[in-house]
Chain A
Amino acid sequence: MKRTWYPGLWLILAIVIGMAIIPAITGSASLRETIFTLLLAVGLASSLNILLGYTGYVSFGHIVFFGFGGYVGFYLLSVQGWHLALAVAGGGLASGALAFLLGKAILKLRGAYFALATLGINEAMRSLIINLDTFGGPLGMNLNFQIYRDYGGAAQALWTTYWAILGLVVAVVVISYLVKRSKFGLGLMAVREDQDAAEVMGVASANAKTWAFVLSAAFPGMLGVLFFFKNGNIEPVDAFPLVKSIEMIVMVMLGGQGTVLGPVLGALGYERLRGFLLTSEIFKDVHLAVAGVLLLVIVLFIPSGAVGWIRSRFHSLRGVVE
């Protein structure tokens, strides 16, 4: 299936980049913050989709890679004095390496056992970091405000972080598109449908799964470094929130697991909805419950998500929506 014109990919990139350029034109800092949150959600959901959507493994504690990468990068920035770009790479490498080692051990578990293991890993990592004085223990670490001077002052540093996160999100989307189109991705989807059959057909499933896990972990690690650099401090509670893990899954489900566009739309939709619920007079106290009802409706009635639903209803759109 060699094609040089990829309408599906351009559509997604147009959505992401188009959205990200608006605050640069208007120069609005508050809009930039909103879109930063949206981009972060898109990046996390798309990374998770490589494992959850393509490979069918439910990582219930995926936020552990965000937190762990964030911690490593933050340590490199604040204690070792590395440059942000290097720290981001360091955080990504650390999360990728963690996923590689964990993957060797837990990817042989199937179904519910894998989900439970990832849940346990997130809890174990959080409680371990609370005990590590190098990482600041339960209080976490703070960045010295002086550090922003190296990036042209605090205001400029926020813009730099913003463009960096856009770059990362574009990279995640392009990679998840390429993976889906590659032989590697085909192998992953074969594993998802029937692992034993896939192995008989010559897919080295253990290897393929491990690399999918590494890919889906490395990006959250890098995003974590950017997020906590902007934040100025990192604490165990903020770095490993289980709820975020599940929100990532909800985003992927909402948009359509296993599609490239789905996690992007799901992340945007979910974050907008959450923002609306949190600020609305009627729902702000029970926003969690409303999100719960929505999740249940999706799980029970539209398990393939918005993009999956569109693809099954409108066959002619399949070339564009993927």
Chain B
Amino acid sequence: MFENLLASLTDGLVIGFVYGVTAMGLTLIFGVMNVINLSHGPVIAIGMFGVYFLFSSLGLNPYLAIILVAVIGLLAGILIYLVAVNRVIDAPELSSLLATFSVNMMILGVGTSVFSTSPRNVDFAMGTVNLGPINLTGTRVAAGVAAIVVTAALYYFLYRTRAGKHIRAVSDNREAAELMGISSFRVLALSFGIGTMLAMIAGGLIATYLPFTILSGEPLMAKSFVIVVLGGLGNPLGALLGGLVLGAMEGIVPVFMKMTWVPVIEFGLFVLILVVRPAGLLGAKE
């Protein structure tokens, strides 16, 4: 029993790091511009397909492919910002919710007709890692490690570079940042690009160990909402912690009850936290 639990917990935690990356993208965008990005889900799916095609058509190593996918993600995010978000950035939140959702519909509409909804998988194996009772497939471990690297890189970027400093400044107070000579337009576009990039990276990582379809991003987006609220909206480190909590829960809960109760607990907790402590476990931005 204990060994079983330990194995499920480890598995869950490894996945939790990847969840953390998707949620960091969402929470970064919310933190900087107060936009709940509903195009996050399909973007995750595009990341999956990006890695899939680079791997199966060009024979690229999936982890190299993810770097390429990340660049595409950055550009795609900036494009989405310019087309759909920039004009409604100061409008009531309904406008930005619907604007980003319209992007969601466009991607899914084109995606389902081009890729259909039949499942695909990246046929890439890295053996298994055995630690006593814990057996983890190599691709999962690699995904977890990659997620940690991405998180560290994001923190380095936000706290050690000039552009990162600008992002934090605009996030704290856009008007004051403007007065200090920071172009908030550029910072917002960049932040949206980075958020989208994180989603695509996470999608790419998930594609290495799970089969997927163009619709696979939607449940991950819903999970990201839960994680973001757990960790506090607008708080990237909180998102990582929330991802770990959710991953651990997904590992442990099925040991005790039916798998189908997992979403009930997840979303029940989500609503409860919103009601009782909307700032999340680690506190929201500000």
Instruction: Please report A residues at the B interface, Cβ cutoff 8 Å.
Output: 52, 56, 58, 60, 105-106, 109, 111-113, 115-117, 119-121, 123-124, 127-128, 130-131, 138, 246, 249-250, 253, 285-293, 295-296, 299-300, 303
Knowing A58-B93, A300-B87 touch, does A109 contact B225 (C-beta < 8 A)? no
Give bound CA distance, A127 to B258, whole Å: 12
A300 to B102, CA, bound (A): 11
Interface size of B by CB at 8 A reads 44
CB nearest to B263 among chain A residues: A127
**Total contacts A-B at CB 8 Å:** 125
Q: Evaluate contact between B103 and A299: CB separation under 8 angstroms.
A: no
B→A interface (CB under 8 Å): 30, 34, 36, 83-84, 87-88, 91-95, 97-99, 101-110, 112-113, 222, 225-226, 229, 233, 258, 260-261, 263-264, 267-268, 270-271, 274-275, 278
Contact (A124, B105) CB under 8 Å given A113-B274, A285-B113: no
Which B residues are CB-close (under 8 A) to A119? Answer: 222, 225
Residues of A within 8 A of B270 (CB): 120, 124
B-chain residues with CB within 8 Å of residue A303 when the two chains form the complex: 91, 95
Q: Are A123 and B274 in contact (CB under 8 A)?
A: no
Complex Cα–Cα for A290 and B98 (A) = 15
* B93: min CB distance to chain A, Å: 5
User: Do B97 and A115 touch across chains, with their CB atoms under 8 A apart?
Assistant: yes
Contact at A300–B264, with CB atoms within 8 Å?
no
Known: A112-B30, A299-B95, A300-B88. A120 touches B263 (CB 8 A): no
Contacts of A299 in B (CB 8 A): 88, 95, 98-99, 102
Are A292 and B104 touching (Cβ within 8 A)? Answer: yes
Closest 8 CB pairs of A and B: A289-B109, A292-B105, A288-B109, A124-B267, A127-B263, A285-B113, A296-B102, A292-B106
Q: Contacts of B112 on A, CB cut-off 8 Å?
A: 285, 288
Residue ID in chain B nearest A114 by CB atoms: B274
For A285, what are the chain B residues with a Cβ–Cβ distance below 8 Å? 112-113
Which of A60, A109, A249, A289 is in CB contact (< 8 Å) with B106? A289
Asked whether A120 lies within 8 Å of B88 as measured between CB atoms, the reply is no
Once the chains are docked, how many angstroms separate the CA of A117 from the CA of B226? 10
A60–B113 Cα distance when bound, in Å, is 26
Q: How many angstroms from the CA of A106 to the CA of B101 in the assembled complex? A: 23
Q: In the assembled complex, which residues on chain A have CB atoms less than 8 Å from the CB atom of B30? A: 112
Query: Closest approach, in angstroms, between the C-beta of A67 and any C-beta of chain B?
Result: 14
Q: A109-B274, A116-B229, A121-B271 are in contact. Are A250 and B98 (CB under 8 A)?
A: yes
User: For residue B223, which residue of chain A has the nearest CB?
Assistant: A123
Q: Which of B88, B94, B98, B268 contacts A124 (CB 8 A)?
A: B268
B105-A291 in contact (CB<8A): yes
Chain B residue with Cβ nearest A131:
B260
Q: Is the CB of B99 within 8 A of A289?
A: no
Per the bound structure, the CA–CA distance linking A117 and B271 in Å amounts to: 6
Asked if A120 meets B271 with Cβ closer than 8 Å, knowing A112-B30, A289-B109, the reply is: yes
Give, as a whole number of angstroms, the nearest-CB distance from A207 to chain B: 18
With known contacts A106-B271, A120-B274, A131-B258, A58–B95 Cβ distance under 8 A: no
Which residue of A106, A123, A249 contacts B222 across the interface (Cβ within 8 Å)? A123
